[in-house]
Amino acid sequence: MIPLSWYVILSAALFTIGVVGVFSRRNIFILLMSIELMLNAANINFIAFSHYLQSLAGQIFVIFVITVAAAEAAVALAIIILIARNRGSVYVDDFNIMKG
Amino acid sequence: MINKLIFFYFAAVILISAILMITRRNPIHSVLFMLLLFFHIAGLFVLLNAEFLAAVQLIVYAGAILILYLFVVMLLNVDKESAAVRANRFWPWMIAFGILIAGEIVLLVLRGTFPANAGQLPMRLGSGVGALGKELYTKYLLPFEIASIVLLVGLVGAVMLAKIKTKE
């Protein structure tokens, strides 16, 4: 059998890659996909612990995470289309109209 | 033994495609690496006896969310500006920060003890779609309804945002 700690380490590495992607890239699509990456790392953790504890609560929670991710992607992409139309750019450095 | 080999294959492909995903210049390539990553995460779910969630992962994440991303990337035509700078100027600090976080989590996991391997404890509930549905519609009925409201808000919000007229 596969030890639980391997799954936890894999999801920690995946989450860290997502964090680095959010903090270091400029393209807003990569930022959003890095957020999806972090959600997937959490999903791997949930399902590994659900299998380990033989409880279905983790799998139920993953369904809710996927639901929220779908709603978030729809709204976020609508906002991105609006920003790109207004500012003519998809790079987050150019979105500084609230800077004093 | 064969389980561990399959796990190593999935884990290696997941990590490599995640790193490629955040480093590619063209967003379309990033989306395609993300697709590869979602397929292998679904394989990992099958390895953990969550077949229904593997199917949901493929249908919802790969089939709906990622195709939405691909549509918007192609709609905005961003790959023509691909000569711009990829990362902001803090990226070496951020990579060091990420290695620090990952090292901390790995250290904590390795120092903790787990009393059994995954799947060794006795089975309390049946697995599979039937047990999952029964649990979802009895014990977790209220969160399920709240999730449907979240989806409705997402739907209405996306339509409202897309309808706004922008001044030229």
B116 in any annotated domain = no
Angle between helices A28-53 and A4-24 (to 10 degrees): 170
Residue B5 clears pLDDT 80, i.e. is over it: yes
Nearest CA in chain B to A60: B136
Q: Give the pLDDT band of residue B81 (cuts 50, 70, 90).
A: low
- Structure pTM? 0.87
Run means of pLDDT, 10 residues per run, chain A, 100 residues: 85 92 87 93 92 85 93 91 82 76
Amino acid found at A28: I
pLDDT higher than threshold 90 for residue B80? no
CATH 1.10.287.3510 fits A4-92, yes or no: yes
ipTM for the predicted complex comes to: 0.90
If one counts the domains in chain B, the total is 2
d(CA B103, CA B135) in angstroms, rounded, equals 37
How far is Cα B151 from Cα B134, in angstroms, rounded to an integer? Answer: 22
Domain that holds residue B39: 1-79
Are B6 and B75 within one domain? yes
pLDDT tens, B108-163? Answer: 888 877 765 655 555 555 567 888 888 889 999 999 999 999 999 999 998 888 78
CATH code where residue B3 lies? 1.20.120.1200
Window from A6-20, B55-69, B97-111 with minimum mean pLDDT: B97-111
Using an 8 Å CB-CB cutoff, list chain A residues near B62: none
Shared domain for B2 and B66, answered yes or no, is: yes
**What tokens appear for B77 in the block?**
């035509």
Q: B50, B79, B108 — which closes off a domain?
A: B79
Q: Which A residues in the span 1-60 are in contact with B, Cβ-Cβ below 8 Å?
A: 1-10, 12-21, 23-27, 29-30, 32-34, 36-37, 40, 43-44, 47-48, 50-57, 59-60
